Structure 1
């Protein structure tokens, strides 16, 4: 997962999920979901889409976009719709992995290496606090994937 994050950030020179989605040619759309869904990722006719709930705060839009990019990068070929209807698989595993991807994309390791707590870094980066615990604590070495990334 972390290698994929590193490659995306290097390729697009940003950890902004909207910049990355654009660079990956993933179309962003907005809709109103009545069932509590914040967003979804799907592919149809070789086109890839992220659909975000139109009433989300800016913080949540950014997180959900990063989460859906996580599905694109970590779970190619899988869709929540297919999992629900055709397998006995627990989609919770895939959601947890996408949350980990999003948090690790959005919170630079350099903030934690410079003494911030995970929750302080989440506040600075606009990551919802209830999801900050998904951040992997970096090893204290100078070659962290995003040690030079600044906000």
Structure 2
């Protein structure tokens, strides 16, 4: 997964999931997805879409866009919903992979500073504090 992310960032010269999605021809839409769904990815008639809940903070919008972009890159042909972590839905293997993809993409090229707390690091790179659940210290930058 790290190599895939490095290639995307090198090719598109950004780690912005919005810019990468646009370059890949993925359409981004916003709408009310209800109280438990933050985003979704789907294909229709050869067109790809990322739909983001319109009530999210900018940090969550970035994370959800990166998560759904992860589904596009990792799980070709599979539409998956990104459910709130506080619901009764247990994220399966695909969801955990998309969460890791999002964290790795959004932290690409921005390693933690010496003695920087994880909370401060997440805030500095614009990730929601809940993203700490998806960090793996053995594979991080």
User: Structure 1 length normalisation: TM-score?
Assistant: 0.78
How many Å apart are 1:29 and its aligned residue? 0.5
- In the TM superposition, what is the alpha-carbon distance from 1:134 to its structure 2 partner? 1.7
How many angstroms apart in 2 are the aligned matches of 1:43 and 1:78?
8
Q: Deviations over 1:84-125 (max 9, x none)?
A: xxxxxx86111111000001111135422x423433221101
CA distance in 2, matches of 1:16, 1:55: 20
Instruction: Report the Cα distance in structure 1 between the residues aligned to 2:92 and 2:47, rounded to whole angstroms.
Output: 25
Q: How many residues align?
A: 132
Instruction: Classify 1:68/1:100 alpha carbon distance in 2 versus 1 (closer, same or farther; 3 Å).
Output: same
Q: Distance in 1 between matches of 2:53 and 2:139?
A: 36
**1:41-68 C-alpha deviation (Å, 9 max, x unpaired):** 0011110000000111111101000000
Q: Counterparts in 2 of 1:2-151, with a 5 A limit?
A: 2-80=2-80, 92-108=92-108, 110-112=110-112, 114-115=113-114, 116-137=116-137
Q: Distance in 2 between matches of 1:33 and 1:118?
A: 30
**Which structure shows the higher helix fraction?**
1
RMSD: 2.2
How many angstroms apart in 1 are the aligned matches of 2:75 and 2:118?
A: 26
Unaligned runs of 5+ in 2: 82-89
The 3-state SS of whatever aligns with 1:123 is helix
Structure (1 or 2) with the greater strand fraction: 2
Secondary structure, counterpart of 1:101 in structure 2: helix
